[in-house]
Structure 1
């Protein structure tokens, strides 16, 4: 086996881990693939003969690529009140996909990814690489151009933001029960039953992209969210329970055409967050071929 074959084999083995890093950094499955591909190009062009830990080297390369992508995204994006829901990882219930298992290894739900979207690029990188992938600050610091102590502070600020806005979800069996009750109440148009399932401070985030018939929005409060849920009553018969980022979720697909993916955060038997992706362009790039089965 020559050096190029060896590198290709090592890279292939590390690819799922590298995509997991990039997905947490970018919240986009397609951009995560782009970042991993760029890491391969850089590996191909680099002399790694003196690299002792190739997996660690590749992780830092993906981190650098993602940091550049986040900074570019931030400079392009104008100030907007529009809500952006990260790409969901959708699975059929009862199936095991090895790549999805790696992506969801630490149960990174949509609600957590939404919080990560609010962090600055350097904060996000420090938190993801240290808290989620256990890279030491000494290795992260050169990527962000800070000292290890300053990088530690970046991660600490990010950690406080995450801990203050995320909650530990119920076990999957309880989540499924609540989502089943949500679907039943939506189909029946039962406003009071919907309110009873929702935490008083529940937040609904809907990202419809440029779809004119469903503007992106954020709605807070049980009665307000229940009222919003009733507007989708006519589509509820086409809802199918799936796993969204490892938790209970719903895909709605009238006539086999995916209309939306909904991820739920459920704590203490109550729905505390609902994240909806209804952007047709982004939905078309998700692997949802099993919906028609």
Structure 2
């Protein structure tokens, strides 16, 4: 069970879904306990065995997930991950969740990073995450992917180029928090000019409702279009919307609540003091951890 945290972190990065990651970990343990004590004892490194099995299960799931996401209504965004103190058994200001039930929050867990991973092939994604994030040698990565170590090296290299091409100058978390806070205040004040000033002219806003709630079927491009759309969104509800500053996938974000229920989670990409990307998740299925928090 000491491996649970790593297995959950690996599976979440590979699948972009906390619920699917938990299923993978349970299936991995089921396969371990299905073996006889003699077979278990013959495994020199149980942690490595569990990681290989989780990786293989994820690789299989990624193929079917891609087909499901192609038929998904609207844009598909990775499931947003609450702050450590707010998810699976933890409450803000209260007792934290069991460390075994947390995913380590670092650069490889940000929404921007996960969105880039979504553009990779399943083999690229698995090879890159295992090697570059979890530091597994290519000989072991090859056992998971089912290709030669040299082929896995090429897969990871290709994935690395995608990540580098998508990255702009790094924005310190404190500066990003200031930008998001100013964005929140401008949105609450319905100050369209202030919103336009905070948004990059080429910013993109992507919404994920999964066909379950109203959400834009395609990303909205352009800072001014996004700003005016945000004003329409906050004017629309019958009951008032409360915006809360929260950590989303390790970065400053916002949570929208109506009648005490989380209805949207917003993650942001920030560069040069302006918001370049907004990822808004409204699919109720993806917001379950936030509603339980």
After TM superposition, is the score higher than 0.5? yes
8 A contact 2:176–2:270 mirrored in 1: yes
Q: Is 2:280 the partner of 1:282?
A: no
Kindly tell me the number of residue pairs found equivalent between the two proteins. 278
2:207 aligns with 206
1:69 aligns with 61
Q: 1:159 to 1:106 in 2, by over 3 A?
A: same
Q: 1:94 to 1:154 in 2, by over 3 A?
A: farther
Decide which of 237, 242, 246 is 2:250's aligned counterpart: 246
Structure 2: distance between partners of 1:166 and 1:280: 30
How far apart are residue 102 of structure 1 and its match? 3.7
Structure 2: distance between partners of 1:65 and 1:112: 22
Structure 1: distance between partners of 2:21 and 2:231: 35
How far apart are residue 221 of structure 1 and its match? 2.1
Decide which of 6, 15, 28 is 1:26's aligned counterpart: 15
Within-5 A mapping of 1:17-166: 17-46=6-35, 47-78=39-70, 82-91=74-83, 98=99, 102-166=103-167
Structure 2 length normalisation: TM-score? 0.87
How far apart are residue 80 of structure 1 and its match? 6.4
Q: 1:168 to 1:40 in 2, by over 3 A?
A: farther
How far apart are residue 155 of structure 1 and its match? 0.8
CA deviations 1:186-228 (Å, max 9, x no partner) are 1222222111111232221110111353233212222222222
How far apart are residue 101 of structure 1 and its match? 5.8
CA deviations 1:15-62 (Å, max 9, x no partner) are 011000000000000000000001101111232323222212211111
Structure 2: distance between partners of 1:49 and 1:167: 48
Q: 1:104 to 1:94 in 2, by over 3 A?
A: farther
Within-5 A mapping of 1:256-275: 256-275=260-279
Structure 1 length normalisation: TM-score? 0.87
Deviates more, 1:129-138 or 1:92-101: 92-101
Q: Is 2:170 the partner of 1:174?
A: no
8 A contact 1:207–1:217 mirrored in 2: no
1:8 aligns with none
User: Which runs of no fewer than 5 residues in structure 1 stay unpaired?
Assistant: 1-11
- Other structure's SS at 2:214 match: coil
Structure 1: distance between partners of 2:196 and 2:280: 18
How far apart are residue 77 of structure 1 and its match? 4.5
8 A contact 1:187–1:237 mirrored in 2: no
Q: 1:99 to 1:227 in 2, by over 3 A?
A: farther
8 A contact 1:169–1:265 mirrored in 2: no
- Other structure's SS at 2:259 match: helix
Structure 2: distance between partners of 1:99 and 1:189: 42
Deviates more, 1:258-267 or 1:217-226: 217-226
8 A contact 1:198–1:222 mirrored in 2: yes
Deviates more, 1:97-106 or 1:128-137: 97-106
Structure 1: distance between partners of 2:277 and 2:203: 5
Query: Cα RMSD (Å) of the superposition?
Result: 2.2
CA deviations 1:70-90 (Å, max 9, x no partner) are 112234444668311111111
2:259 aligns with 255
Q: Is 2:230 the partner of 1:225?
A: no
